[in-house]
Amino acid sequence: MGFVFAAVQIILMILALYKWVLIAMIIMSWLLSFNIINSGNQFVDTIWRIVNSLTEPLLRPIRRFLPNMGGLDLSPIVLFLGIYFVEYVIRYYAARLL
């Protein structure tokens, strides 16, 4: 039982960390689009590449299914809902197992 509990906790921590990475991507995209931060800066570009490489594989398939909203990207909201759903399912079934 201890192994299952530890594995569930690690998965939930990874999902929580991923939500923070997704929030960082959203904020950075706003800051870049309004020219508050400059992508020519090497540090900003490095962080942007890391955040994009972590989020884009999950956002790209969502964007294919969402209709064009005229520049408004709703894929992070859909991904957040998906993460919350996965967390709920994990907690529900983990509670039944433990």
pLDDT attached to residue 1? 74
Is 98's pLDDT higher than 80?
Answer: no
Angstrom distance (rounded) from CA 12 to CA 16: 6
The tens digit of pLDDT for each residue in 44-55 reads 999 999 999 999
Q: What is the DSSP letter of 68?
A: P
pLDDT attached to residue 4? 85
The tens digit of pLDDT for each residue in 72-97 reads 899 999 999 999 999 999 999 888 87
pLDDT attached to residue 65? 93
pLDDT attached to residue 59? 96
**Token pair 């994990």 in the structure block, residue:** 90
pLDDT attached to residue 97? 78
pLDDT attached to residue 96? 84
Angstrom distance (rounded) from CA 48 to CA 45: 5
The tens digit of pLDDT for each residue in 4-44 reads 889 999 999 999 999 999 999 999 999 999 999 998 999 99
